[in-house]
A and B are shown apart, each in its own frame.
Chain A
Amino acid sequence: MEAKTIHIDEYIITREPFYQSTGDEIAIFEAAYANHLPVLLKGPTGCGKTRFMEYMAWRLRRPLITVSCHDDLTASDLVGRYLVRGGETVWIDGPLTQAVRAGGICYLDEVVEARKDTMVVIHPLADDRRVLPIEKLGTLVEAPAEFCLSISYNPGYQSVLKDLKQSTRQRFVALEFDYPGPGPGLEAEIVAAESGLEREMAARLVQFAGMTRNLKGGGLEEGASTRLLVHAAKLIASGVSPVSACRGAIAQALTDDPEMLAAVNELSASLF
């Protein structure tokens, strides 16, 4: 893994990402941003959290630096470390430090996956001190007004080990995300816009998603996400039959259990 200096400008989003708002999340985020409050995005996988962050970064004209957290992510991975180059040691800022220095938006995706000790380094950034201590350099980097920290978290995984500590979660303004569902047709709108599929078929897909979401807890760990619907829609738009598209892009992605697979496939066969 070769570390390289990143040019922060590359992280500025210049084209408006398509984001379908489903509530007052944009207004709340803007208010939190204006007040230097960090934001926590809660919600199941593939419901538009990352897309929302891209959209907000574009709207606020700030660079967006995203870190996907995993269980080996250490504090140094975020903050920075010394590397040896041609016989000399050089300090390289980690993504978090870069975002702080540049006054960008740092988005820590799936933050519960990170090691517990990693979380501690973001605490001083996430309260009113808004500083990042860099132990190895013995310095404190103060966050400029434009800097924003946001993290995401999927409360659906009910593992005791993967719960967000109170001391962490109580520092953030929380925004709740969910699949918009069939109601006023928002999700069909998203699917249609993302895939180029016509509205009616997109609405059928959303109806199918609803069926798989009914199965959550009754055999499926999770129902179909908006992301999976977009995948299936793209397949359909390029000529795959709806039943096959649902089988490949949705059913197989949801489960390996043969009985559940059969049930999900029967449902899509009923619908199309």
Chain B
Amino acid sequence: MIAARHALSAPRIEALLDELLEVEFTFRQTADAAARLATLDADTQHFMIDWIKRVASTNLELGYQVACRAVAALDAMPRQMIEEWALRAMDVYDRKGLRPALLVIEGLDAFASEQRARARGAVLERCEGVLQGVLHGLSGRALKVEAAARIYTDSEKIFLPQLLAQLPSEAENFSLYKVSAVFQWARTRFGGFSALRRAGVLEGEATPGLLALFHRLEGLRLEGILSRELPGLYRELTLLGRNPAVAVEPPSQWAPWRSRLMEAGVSADDVLALARRQLGRLHGWRAPLYYGEPDREALRACMEARIEREKGRFRVALAEIQSELRGDHPRGAPLRFGQRPVGERGDPQEAQIEILLDDQPLALPPEVQRTLGSIIQDLDALPQEYLSAAGAGEYDAEREGEERCAGESVWSGTYHEEGASLYPEWDYRRKHYRKEWCAMREIDVEPVHDGFAEQTLVKYGGLVKHLRKSFEALRDEERLLRRQPHGDGVDIDALVEALAEMRLGREMSDRLFTRMHRSERNIAAAFMVDMSGSTKGWINDAEREALVLLCEALESLGDRYAIYGFSSNTRKRCELFRIKRFDEPYGAGVRARISGIRPRDYTRMGFAIRHLTRLLNETDARTRILITLSDGKPDDYDNYRGVYGIEDTRRALIEARRARVHPYCITIDELARDYLPHLYGPAAYTVLNEVSALPLKVSDIYRRLTS
């Protein structure tokens, strides 16, 4: 370690850097960097060298480049910003590789000025949650906020820049985000896109400039709508519009159109007709920033895909309704679905359609109602062919299409993160998290109906009985409270005493009753079961037996519990296998899934702990326990071994405890005494010497833990 008090000489620093950067094998030139670092005071040297070391732990070249720029960085930025610069570079390295990361290091001036802009600007990352909430609250199709270089929408996502710093304060920049997001929402909501699609404008730019002009004119119409629908927002928009960085007044030739378009009752079709007429005549207005920019191709592709998808989905939904209603007579004639408009009070925006079945209104499930709303948003009506329920063949095709994106099959193609939850991982050398590092999926265990659970119950018959009994004893205990002012029974002792008191002329107590009081167990437990390859054979059998017995015991106890298996194959394939969810009753399905537990790949633990902690926190239990059954150390193929794996697991457990989850570990790894105390603390684990003890012990330990 470096002694903090004394500044180091250039040769000392050079030697240090040579070691950190493994110069022996890479022939990097560290003399210059060392000479420059030698000019710094001791504390600054220490700071910089520490960061060089952290970055080098991720990648040597990256560390070397930081070393070369150390002094320049100190000139350009305060320390905290340097830390962010180094972390950003490592982050980019994680996601995109060395080249882009080097660009971050090289672009340190750009980084510094961006950071300064961030200080007064609004950052999407920070306002995304609020913007997303605002968009959800507004009516219509659910829209998702995503980062992009420009402001636009493809009618499902609203793209906004990472940073808005046009305006002098964070609050104003946030307001610009909000107005831009709501404006894009209005573009999807008030018929502009469906008009463009109907008129074929999205198919190709037959008339150059038409879309761009429409985009601006439509913006004026939307301003009018917003002024009526969301007057508060419109006030904000006008305020922003006064700033020339956001908007400039249109030239005078636009003025008459502007006031006309802002009136109520103008439709998107009117706007399109106007755009055609005025094309080539109206020009020279830079649209306000919050108008966004049109992206014809993105919009077209998104709309076509959705229309296709929702048509299928809607017809499948009708087929499902049909088969449900028919029940026992699946082969009858298809049901006759119809529709009828239910527009209220001449408000075209709220025009809705009611689906009829044999001329009677049909209540659609909410998700189908949403699909219907989205269809009408695109097509302005429900085409008649949508009303024929999907036939069996189409039905399956549709199902398959939906499932293609879920679960296992995503891995057959190239890796992508769709549908996965991303979890961070702790890199102990970096002393920092790697963001969105693990792609985690929940997958159902393939059930195996082979009578495994039943055999286990027979095998351990006597024990099961014992377990049930001892667990039942723990059940919500009814405690008898004595000397209560009111209650269900008479407390004879108290009564006798009171009568005696009364005879003596004293005042008689009124606390003469007994009352049952229930001290409620309010516990949720998640069991995290090792499904790594090393459990193959009798460990796997013992685990499965243990789970069968555990379920029996827990059922008699009434605690909420969930069981998940975990396994991984690099950070891109972290899997939690659902065996039993919290809200799922124990039954044949769960038993078959226990039976179906099979050894898989490696033992990455952090993601599993993090995800189960999240699930535990979604329960409203007062006490939450996370119990891991494992046979060894954390370990995975891509460097998740040794200290790295242990430290990430430890970190995940610390996070869990912070979230008020109690972790506990049961393991059969005899070497576990070396590392478990470091992970779980001295009293929160059990090492079993024999695999065969597992089935007997797990329930027993659970009982001890919770009584």
Contacts and interface: CB of A to CB of B under 8 A. Distances in A.
Interface of A: 1, 3, 71, 74-76, 81-84, 86-87, 89, 115, 159-160, 182-184, 210-212, 214-215, 218-219, 243, 259-260, 262-264, 266-272
Interface string B338-350: 0000001000001
Contacts of B182: 270
Nearest to B136: A218
B231 A271 contact: yes
Contacts of B232: 243, 268-272
29 contacts: A1-B485, A74-B516, A75-B488, A81-B488, A83-B510, A84-B508, A89-B490, A159-B620, A160-B583, A182-B350, A211-B138, A214-B136, A214-B137, A215-B133, A215-B136, A215-B137, A218-B136, A259-B129, A259-B130, A262-B133, A263-B131, A263-B134, A263-B137, A266-B130, A266-B134, A266-B178, A270-B134, A271-B230, A272-B231
B138 A76 contact: no
Interface of B: 129-134, 136-139, 142, 178, 182, 230-233, 236, 344, 350, 485-488, 490, 495, 498-499, 502, 508, 510, 512-513, 516, 518, 520, 560, 583, 620
B125 to A, nearest CB: 12
Identify which of A84, A87, A271 gathers the most chain B CB atoms within 10 Å of its CB: A84
Given A184-B344, A259-B130, A272-B231, A214 B487 contact: no
A269 B232 CA distance: 5
Contacts of A82: 490
B111 to A, nearest CB: 28
Contact of B133 (A1, A81, A83, A259): A259
Contacts of A75: 488
Contacts of B344: 183-184
Given A159-B620, A243-B232, A219 B136 contact: yes
Contact of A210 (B139, B230, B495, B499): B139
B488 A87 contact: no
Given A83-B486, A159-B620, A270-B230, A263 B130 contact: yes
A3 B486 CA distance: 9
Nearest to B522: A161
A81 B487 contact: yes
Contacts of B486: 1, 3, 81, 83
Contacts of A74: 488, 516
Contacts of B499: 87
Contact of A214 (B139, B230, B520): B139
Given A270-B233, A272-B231, A263 B133 contact: yes
Contacts of B502: 87
Given A212-B137, A260-B133, 17 more contacts: A1-B485, A1-B486, A76-B488, A84-B498, A87-B499, A87-B508, A160-B560, A182-B350, A214-B138, A243-B232, A259-B129, A263-B131, A264-B133, A266-B130, A266-B178, A267-B133, A271-B232
Contacts of B132: 263
A210 to B, nearest CB: 7
Contacts of A243: 232
A75 B488 CA distance: 9
Contacts of B560: 160
B485 A219 contact: no
A259 to B, nearest CB: 4
Nearest to B485: A1
A3 B484 CA distance: 14
A200 to B, nearest CB: 12
Contact of B134 (A83, A89, A267, A272): A267
A272 B231 CA distance: 6
A189 B436 CA distance: 50
A77 to B, nearest CB: 9
Contacts of B178: 266, 270
A183 B352 CA distance: 11
Contacts of A76: 487-488
A132 to B, nearest CB: 17
Contacts of A214: 136-139
